[in-house]
Chains A and B, each alone.
Chain A
Amino acid sequence: MLFNTTQFFLFLAVVLALFYGSPRRFRRYILLAASYFFYACWNPKFIALLLTLTAIDYTAALWLEKVAPGPRKKALLILSLSANLGFLGFFKYYNFLASNLALLLGKPTHSFFLDIVLPLGISFHTFQSMSYVVDVYRGQQKAVRSPIDYALFICFFPQLVAGPIVRAHTFFRDLFDWHPPSADDVSNGIFLLVLGLTKKMAFADQFAKVANRYFSDVAGNPGMVTAWSGVFAFGLQIYFDFSGYTDMAIGMAKLLGFHFPVNFRRPYLASSITDFWRRWHISLSTWLRDYLYIPLGGNRHGQWMTYRNLAITMLLGGLWHGASWNFVIWGGYHGALLGVERVFRGDRPIREEWTWLYPAKAILTFGLVLISWVFFRAADLPQSLQILGQMFSRPGGHTLLQPWHVGLALIALALAVVEEKFEWFERIIEAPAWAYASALAAMFLCLEVFGVIDASIPFIYFQF
């Protein structure tokens, strides 16, 4: 059940009606049942996996709270993390490791393959679950007593399959001290829901058609201009696709009285790669910072250790996205860029002020990010290299973008700049009803005219 389908909106309407039509004590049960139903619509078999992981971490956290600090507690934490990483590793990385092992042994790559179906959203909910256990271990979070509450934290349907990765304190704060959403929350929720849908269907899916055309036949679309236009289209597709999904998730959560943090903050306006990672998939980058980079030592042990920690964090961050060398290279490339920036910047904080140099820096950053998307989207390493070869060849080829694609991109850029400088999204929610309604109507019209309605293009991050 994709977010951009009629079935999903019917489901959401039923959930909202049941949620607000029921006595308060039943509401979390309704959300839990709805979430499991939502997950079961994909593949009911994986409900068992979800329940197993939930049971393991629920029990581990209760236990961790009782055990005094020391080796026993650490062993318990390791046990819980191993279980999570074990499931994640088996479902997501087994075939990757098996193919590499086969290569090492000189056997055909499929020699040790297993027919494994990747459970939907496993990367997201295992990270969410692990952060909870670590927080309990660190004493930053109390273990949750009710298995229902914990299960809801893991499988809450708006963010179950593609995030944002919500921290336990954020979720349980809203769950335990639940208030009906305010008028502003409802306005904001509806606005984000429509905005997300517009981003996905009118922008991401239109750019997806161009990107898919290019990446499905790179050899048949030669030339520098062709390559850049295909990669540019994918760059916009992935941003609108993922941030659109996230906007919808946050909007739905708001309608149910939950407040999730922002996951994207206009990343393509970033003035550096460091800045980019503060704006892109924020819930993952902060997770990696808090549960990987800082525990590895962060920047506390000298320059070289900092570079090492950055590299490890980004390589693993890359691998989190998918089991292929392309994702490792994608992460490594970003790690290397972050390292290079750090060499030039030293310990000085990043300056985000808008000066006359800012557009040049933003364009350079965008170009560097586009190059990284080649590894993210290409089928394999040889194709990535072929595309890079095209991108940096002599000028030739033709653009795959129609003038209206460029128009859409320019509109998005203008809106992003206005939002960056004036926070108009927030203002429009506060604005009189007619102004707010006009903004919604404009998005509806955009959906009507540009929305890809009948070809259901899945959200990119659902595969992770």
Chain B
Amino acid sequence: MHQKGRRRGLALPLACLGLFALDGLLFRTPFYPSILQPDSSAGTFELTLEREQQAQRLNGDNLVVTLGDSRFAYSPRLANELTAQTGYVFRHAGVAGTDVRSWYYMLRDLDPSARRYRAIVFGVTDYDDEDQFFTPDDDIRALHYVIARLRWSDVLEFALSFHSRKLQWEALRGASLKGIVYQNDILTFLSNPKKRIQYARAAHRDYDQWTYGYVETPRSLTGLQIDWKAWKVTFPPGLDQDQQDTINRDLMREPAPQTGRVAAYYRAWYGRILDRYRGSRTKIVFVRLARAPIPRPDGLVRKKSSTIRDFASSLPNVLLCDEHAFDSLEHPELFRDALHLNRAGIARFSPMLAEEIGRMLGSAGQ
């Protein structure tokens, strides 16, 4: 009986091991990431990574990779029209909705040797640290973007990088058993496996083509007026609800208490990236993007720190682009909503970015 009991006692840990083995077999091998829904968070992230890995093989020693969220809207195609002049080829590994935590995992697998790029350019909207009501350390979307990149050794560190206990648990659970995070993707896959496989194949084959030539909408906010003193916005006729919502939500937001959480978050994640590139020939460049069609007044929030400036002043390979280099783009006619440049804005910004980066890095041959 005791022997039987002991054997039974083994069964539960064995079952747990079996679960992790099955999970590993399905979700920690290249199999499942290859059939991810291309439009999903993880699917887009993986396609971007794969596309940029391929670009590394096709390009030479003059690659500059840019990373940012959807606000870092420029066209690598337009920027690369100046390659003859700047000497650099621009590639964009940014994914809409991501932040520095996701960029760390992207770069770790995109540039394992930490020497492949001439520069890594991060597009940010502020060099100072401003806490907002929603803090990026509790952005659980990161789990859904980087899920395929997480290794066993990342599980604990990744989970603890979230602030709230609930999200730490969600991240721990998801990073340990990836099937939980992939669940919706799996269910849509099972609804029509053939169609998914065809779509995933097409995306893996043509993603570069689909994205490299992407043209942004010409919609603009021309006529938008904001009276900051009266805290009043005047929408021009013809603005749709989404455009108005982004202005109310992202521009007309009340200042949040400055807790220092954003600074701690930036120190942790930019710090990890910069540690990887310590002693590397790769330059780390921060670019302050055009902030908004009508930027919020500077004195609205008293920012207590500037992690990015601190890094730039203490590390030799960290460069800051002129803070006001792209101020000229901060006009309603160049934005499609409160955050994003429109087609005309991108057309102006892309060569400006290429020239500015080229100027900062110097000749590609150096």
A-to-B contact residues, CB < 8 Å: 6, 182-183, 186-187, 190, 402-404, 407, 432-434, 436-441, 444-445, 448-451, 453-454
Contact = CB atoms under 8 A, between A and B. Distances in A.
Contacts of A404: 187, 190-191
Contacts of B15: 436-441, 444
A438 B18 contact: yes
Interface in B4-38: 4-5, 7-8, 10-12, 14-19, 21-23
Q: Which 4 A-B pairs have the closest CB atoms?
A: A441-B18, A440-B15, A437-B14, A404-B190
A407 B190 contact: yes
A182 B1 contact: yes
A450 B183 contact: yes
A448 B1 contact: no
25 contacts: A182-B1, A183-B1, A183-B7, A187-B11, A190-B12, A403-B190, A403-B192, A404-B191, A407-B190, A433-B7, A437-B14, A437-B18, A439-B15, A440-B12, A440-B18, A441-B17, A441-B18, A441-B21, A444-B18, A445-B23, A449-B179, A449-B183, A450-B183, A453-B180, A454-B170
Interface string B125-139: 000000000000000
Contacts of A439: 15
A453 B180 CA distance: 8
Contacts of A182: 1
Interface string B159-201: 0000000000110000001011001001100111000000000
B357 to A, nearest CB: 42
A402 B4 CA distance: 43
A439 B8 CA distance: 13
Interface residues of B, number: 28
A79 B245 CA distance: 65
Nearest to B179: A448
A441 B22 contact: yes
Contacts of A434: 14
Contacts of B179: 445, 448-449
B40 to A, nearest CB: 16
Contacts of B191: 402-404
Contact of A441 (B19, B169, B190): B19
Contacts of B180: 448, 451, 453
Given A183-B5, A404-B191, A407-B190, A436 B11 contact: yes
Nearest to B7: A433
Given A448-B179, A450-B183, A433 B190 contact: no
A403 B192 CA distance: 8
Nearest to A6: B169
Of A190, A437, A444, A450, the most chain B CB neighbours within 10 A belong to A437
B193 to A, nearest CB: 9
Nearest to A183: B5
B10 A445 contact: no
B179 to A, nearest CB: 4
Given A433-B7, A434-B14, A437-B12, A402 B190 contact: yes
A356 to B, nearest CB: 33
Contacts of A438: 15, 18
A190 B17 CA distance: 16
B118 to A, nearest CB: 43
A407 B193 CA distance: 13
Contacts of B17: 441
Given A402-B187, A437-B12, A183 B19 contact: no
B3 to A, nearest CB: 9
B354 to A, nearest CB: 44
B8 A436 contact: yes
A402 B8 CA distance: 38
A438 B14 CA distance: 8
Contacts of A190: 11-12
Given A186-B8, A441-B15, A449-B186, 18 more contacts: A402-B187, A404-B191, A437-B15, A439-B15, A440-B15, A440-B18, A441-B16, A441-B17, A441-B19, A444-B15, A444-B19, A445-B19, A448-B19, A448-B183, A450-B187, A451-B183, A453-B183, A454-B170
Nearest to B3: A183
Nearest to A438: B18
A354 to B, nearest CB: 31
B187 A448 contact: no
A190 B10 CA distance: 13
A448 to B, nearest CB: 4
Nearest to A449: B179
Contacts of A436: 8, 11, 15
A187 B8 contact: yes
Contacts of A183: 1, 4-5, 7-8
B1 A445 contact: no
Nearest to B186: A449
Contacts of B169: 6
Contacts of B177: 448
Contact of A445 (B11, B12, B22): B22
Contacts of A6: 169
A183 B11 CA distance: 11
Contact of B14 (A433, A451, A454): A433
A361 to B, nearest CB: 32
A158 B4 CA distance: 27
A253 B7 CA distance: 22
